[in-house]
Structure 1
C-alpha cells in the first residue's frame, strides 16, 4: 500500500507540471505548480498519456501547427489479414509522425528569423498528399508512355559519388545529351523541335551543332526573303519606295487617287488611278500606272533587248541591275512617244518617275479593254482587226523604226471597235542585232492567231514578214528563210557600228518627253 501511494504522489507531481500556468510571467520568478489529484486508473490510462504528451508539445512549441493525425485504420473498415496491408498502414503512420517531428524541427531551427529554411524536401510523400488532379497529365510524366517502359532516370549530380570511384562531370554523355535537348528551346519559333513528350531525348554535340547551324541558316534565309519582299515590287504589292513615289504624285495633284490592280505580267504590275492636273499637260480622267518590278528573277533575259540598243548601250554598261529597271521604263516611254507621233493607237504617256510610268487608261469606267485573245468578235470584225494589226506593224516598222519584239494577242487590246497596241518596253529598232529575228517571231504569232480565228485572208509568217519589212526574201522553206534573216542582221550590225554615232545623233532630237526623276 505504501508503494501505491508513492506512485500516486509521483504521478500527481508529473501532472502538475503538465498543467502549469502558460501565461506570461517573469522569467526570473518562481514557478508555481498546481497539483491535480488523480486515481490509479487515470495513471495507467493510455489516453491520459497522449493528452499529457500533446500538452508538453504545445508548451514547448506554441506556434507550431500540429499535424492532425488521421485515425488509425482498424479491422472494422479494412481487411488486415494481409501482412502487406498491415505493413503499409504502419509505414503511413510512421511517415505522419516523421512529418510532424520535421515540422517541429523546422520551427525550432528557424526561430524568429526573417529568413527561413524549409524542410519540405525531407517530407515523406504519400499518395493522398498529392494536390494535383488525376485528369491533369504532366508533359514530363512518362510513366504511362507506351514507347518507353521505364521513366527516365533523374540527371545524376556532378562531382564524386561513392568513395571517389565514380565521377560524373558536365562532359558525361547522358548529362550533356539531355542538356543539349533542353537548349533546343532557344531555337527560332519556326524551327519545330517537339515538346519532348514521351521521349528521353539525348542529343550529341555533333547533332546539336548541326541543328543549331541549320536553325541559324533558316533564320538568315527567312530574313533575306522578308527584306527582299519589303524592298522589291513583286506580285501585286509595291515596296515602300514605290509607295512614296505614288504618294508624291497624289500630293502634287497629278493623280487624284490610286485604286486596285488591273493586271500583272512578268515585268510589271498595272494599277488604276484617277487623273488630276498638271500645268504643262492635260491629264486624262482615267490613268494606268505601270510599276516595273524591281525583282530580277522573272524576266532574266531583259538585257538582251536593251544592251545592244544604241540609245542605251553606253549607259547600260555603267549601271547596276536595279538601275536597269529605270532604263527599261524609260525605254517604254520613248517607244510610246514615237508610236503616238506616228498615229498608232497606244496609251498616252503622262509622266515617268524612276520605274513608275503613268499612262492613259485604255478602257472605260474602271473596266479595262479586253485582250484580243479574250474578246469574241464576228468574222467580219476579226477580219478588220487583222488588217488593222497588219497596218500597225507596217507603221511601227517604217514610221517609228521599231519592232515590237513581243507582239501577240496578249498585247493587243480591243477598244471602241479598234485594235490598240500596248507593252512596248522591249521594242527595238530593226538595226538591232536580233531585230529581224524578233520581227519574224512577231509575224509568226500574229499569223497563227488569226488563222486559228478563221480569217481566210491571213498571210503565213514568211509572207507577213515580207509585207511588213519589204525585204522580199525568196526562200522556199523556213530554215533558209531564217538563215537569210541572220545574214541581213549581220550586215545591219556592221552598218550600225560604222554609222551608229550619226544615227544616235539623228534620233536624239525625236521630241521624247523629259524624264522626271526625283
Structure 2
C-alpha cells in the first residue's frame, strides 16, 4: 500500500472537519462592529443638543479598555440573573401571605440597578440644601443594606413613621389632617393609634347627633314623625293652619294654630299645640313624677322613651280635665294625638298672655293676683285632689284680669310618696315671689302650706328642716296607711273623662 496515499488523507473527526482558524481580534473591534451594524439598521441620526453643540465621544463611557467592556457585560449578566431571581421568588411565594425574599442572592444592589429597580429615584445631594427638611425623603427598601451591616425592617422607626403619615389620608373627610407642608413627617404608632381612635369616636358622635336631630323635637323644630302628625291634623280639618312657635320650654315646644272643626265638640278659633320633646334629656330627673303615680304606675316603662313621652301628654290631659271641672282657670283640652296636646289658646290675636313674672301690675292688681293664686292652690288640693309640683311665676299667666294656670304635666295627687314635699316647694315659690313684689298680705311659706293643705303642721320656731321632717313623717304615715288597707293602685276617677282622640290615630 502506498504510504504516500495514507499520508495525504485528512484524518476524520467525529464532530466534523476543522475549519481554518479565524484571525484573532480584540473586544473593541467586536463591539465597534456590532455598534456600527446596529446604527446602520436603525438609521439613527445624531442630533445636536439644545446648546447647538454636537454630541462628542467623551459623552459616552470609555470603551477602549477590554476590562471596562467585560465589567459592562458582567453587569448586564447580573441584571438578567436578578430578573430571573425575581421571577423565581414570585413563583415560589405565589398568593401566600407569608413570603420569602431572595434579595440576599441578588448580584446588583437595588440603588445601583437603575434599569430594573421600580423604586429608583434620582439621587440628589441635600446635605447642604437649606430646604431639604421641606422635601419628603423616600422610604428605603426593606432588607439588607450595604454589606449586611445595616438592616431595614418593617419595624424601622422612620419607615413606620412615614407609612403612618401616609395612612392618615384614609381618615374621614371631615377630619382635617393637612398636607404636612411638604415636611418629612414621621408619626409614631402611639400617636397614629390615638388619632385613629379619636377619628372613629368623632364619627360615631357625629352619627349620634345626626340621629338625634332627625328623630327628636328640637328647640323650634320638629322631627319628621311629629311633622306628619301635625299635617294629618290640618288635613283632617281639626286645624286650619299652624302659624309658628310661641314658646319653648324644657320639656315641650308650643305652637300657635288656627282652629278648625270637630264632630264631637267645637274647636276654638285660636289653639295652642303643645309638642312634648321626644328626647328624655330633660326627663331623666323627672320620672319620679309619673312612676309613683297610681294612675300610670302600671303603664310606666323606662325602656321605651316614646311611650313615656305619650304618658306625659296623657297625664297633662287628665289633669287639665279635672281642673276644668273644678272651675280652675286653665286651658281647655281639645285633642290628644300621641305626644301632641291641642288646647285652647290663652291670649288674643296670635299674642300669648304674659307670664306673671313678666307682667307689670299695680299694687292692687298684684294683691288680687295673690288671692287668686291662693284660691287656685286650695282648689287644686281640696277639689281636684292635685298638687301642681312645679308652681311658680313662670307657670302662671295674666290674662283678662285673671291668673291662668298652665303646665300641669308633672302634677300629682297628695297621696304620692313625695306629694307634700312638692306642695311645700310650691308654697315657697309663691310666697317668695309675692313678698318680693310688695304684697304685705302674703303668708309665710309655713302658713301658706297649712292654709292650702289644712294639715295644721306645727310651725314651732319656723325651722325649715324641722318642718320638712314633719312633712316627711306625714308622708310615711300616709304610705303605711295605704299599704295596710291593701290599696297599692287606685283606679282613675270617673270624673276624669277623656277628651276625644283623633279618629285616624296610628296607635
In the superposition, the TM-score normalised over structure 2's length comes to 0.72
Q: 1:481 aligns with which of 467, 473, 477?
A: 467
How far did residue 504 of structure 1 move?
A: 2.7
Distance 1:287 1:504, change over 3 A: same
Aligned residues: 404
2:356 partner SS: coil
Contact 1:361 1:368 in 2 (8 A): yes
Contact 2:134 2:184 in 1 (8 A): no
User: Aligned partners of 1:212 and 1:296: how far apart in 2?
Assistant: 32
2:398 partner SS: strand
How far did residue 210 of structure 1 move?
A: 2.9
User: Aligned partners of 2:284 and 2:122: how far apart in 1?
Assistant: 75
Aligned to 1:277: 261
1:284-363 paired onto structure 2 within 5 Å: 284-316=268-300, 320-363=304-347
Distance 1:154 1:510, change over 3 A: closer
Q: 1:391 aligns with which of 375, 394, 402?
A: 375
Distance 1:172 1:473, change over 3 A: closer
Q: Deviations over 1:335-379 (max 9, x none)?
A: 000111111111111111111111111111111111000000111
Distance 1:339 1:143, change over 3 A: farther
Aligned to 2:493: 507
Q: Deviations over 1:377-417 (max 9, x none)?
A: 11111111111111111111111111101110000001111
Runs (5+) with no aligned partner, structure 1: 1-55, 73-91, 99-116, 126-141
Q: Does 1:69 align with 2:69?
A: no
Distance 1:167 1:472, change over 3 A: closer
User: Aligned partners of 1:162 and 1:482: how far apart in 2?
Assistant: 87
Runs (5+) with no aligned partner, structure 2: 1-38, 61-114
Q: Deviations over 1:9-67 (max 9, x none)?
A: xxxxxxxxxxxxxxxxxxxxxxxxxxxxxxxxxxxxxxxxxxxxxxx99x9358x9x56
Q: 1:492 aligns with which of 475, 478, 481?
A: 478
User: Aligned partners of 1:378 and 1:331: how far apart in 2?
Assistant: 36
Q: 1:60 aligns with which of 43, 46, 67?
A: 43
Q: Does 1:183 align with 2:167?
A: yes
User: Aligned partners of 2:342 and 2:360: how far apart in 1?
Assistant: 29
Runs of 4+ in 1 over 6 A off after TM superposition: 92-98, 121-125
Q: Does 1:418 align with 2:402?
A: yes
2:285 partner SS: helix
Aligned to 2:421: 437
In the superposition, the TM-score normalised over structure 1's length comes to 0.70
1:122-271 paired onto structure 2 within 5 Å: 151-158=135-142, 162=146, 167-271=151-255
**Higher mean Cα deviation, 170-179 or 307-316?**
170-179
Q: Does 1:371 align with 2:352?
A: no
**Higher mean Cα deviation, 148-157 or 355-364?**
148-157
Contact 2:135 2:183 in 1 (8 A): no
Contact 1:288 1:359 in 2 (8 A): yes
Contact 1:330 1:515 in 2 (8 A): no
Distance 1:226 1:319, change over 3 A: closer
RMSD: 3.4
